[in-house]
Amino acid sequence: MREGLVASLPLVPSVFIYATVFGGLAVQAGLRPLEVWAMSLFVFAGSAQFVAVPMIATGASPLAVIVTTYIVNMRHYLMAATLAPSFRGIARGWIALVAHFVNDESFAIAAARRSPPDPGVFVGSAMAIAGAFFVGVPVGTELGGLAKEPEKWGLDFAFPAVFVALVAVQLRRSGDWLVAIAAAAVAVVIASVLPGNWHIVIAGLAVSAVAAYVFAPDAEV
One domain for residues 179 and 81: no
Cα dist from 101 to 43, 59, 181, 189, whole Å: 9, 28, 29, 31
pLDDT of residue 210: 74
Whether 220 has a pLDDT exceeding 60, the answer reads no
137 and 39 in one domain?
Answer: yes
User: First vs last Cα of the chain: how many Å apart?
Assistant: 32
91 and 144, same domain (yes or no): yes
111 and 193 together in one domain: no
Res. 211: pLDDT tops 50: yes
**pLDDT computed for residue 159 by the predictor:** 54
DSSP per-residue string spanning the chain: -HHHHHHHGGGHHHHHHHHHHHHHHHHHTT--HHHHHHHHHHT--HHHHHHHHHHHHTT--HHHHHHHHHHHTTHHHHHHHHHGGGGTTS-HHHHHHHHHT--HHHHHHHHHH-SSPPHHHHHHHHHHHHHHHHHHHHHHHHHTSS-S-GGGGTGGGHHHHHHHHHHHTT--SHHHHHHHHHHHHHHHHHHHHS-TTHHHHHHHHHHHHHHHHHT-TT---
pLDDT-derived band at 199, boundaries 50, 70, 90 = confident
Q: Are residues 108 and 66 in the same domain?
A: yes
Alpha-carbon distances of 191 from 50, 87, 122, 183, 186, rounded to whole Å: 19, 33, 29, 12, 8
pLDDT band at 153 (very low <50, low <70, confident <90, very high): low
Closest CA to 168 of 159, 156, 176, 178: 176
Average pLDDT, the chain: 82
Q: What's the domain range around 161?
A: 2-169
The answer to whether 21 touches 144, Cβ cutoff 8 Å, is no
- Total structural domains in the chain? 2
pLDDT tens, residue by residue, 49-83: 887 888 788 787 888 788 878 877 888 888 888 89
pTM of the predicted protein model: 0.68
Report how far residue 207's alpha carbon sits from residue 139's, in angstroms, rounded to the nearest whole number.
39
Same domain, 113 and 20: yes
178 and 220 belong to one structural domain: yes
Of residues 103 and 203, which shows the higher confidence score?
103
What confidence tens digit (pLDDT) does each residue in 86-100 have? 888 888 888 999 999
Say yes or no: 105 and 16 in one domain: yes
What would the mean pLDDT of 101-115 be, rounded to a whole number? 87
pLDDT band at 131 (very low <50, low <70, confident <90, very high): very high
Confidence of residue 221 (pLDDT cuts 50, 70, 90): very low
| Co-location of 51 and 130 in the same domain | yes
Q: Which of 169, 190, 213 is the last residue of a domain?
A: 169
93 in the same domain as 64: yes
Count of all residues that appear for the chain in the document: 221
Least confident of 70-84, 171-185, 192-206: 192-206
Tell me, yes or no, whether 218 and 202 share the same domain: yes
- Taking a C-beta distance cutoff of 8 angstroms, is the pair 43, 158 a contact? no
Q: What is the pLDDT of residue 219?
A: 47
Q: Are residues 41 and 80 in the same domain?
A: yes
At residue 52, the pLDDT reads 85
Cα–Cα distance for residue pair 19/25, rounded to 1 Å: 10
Rounded to an integer, the average pLDDT of 23-30 is 83
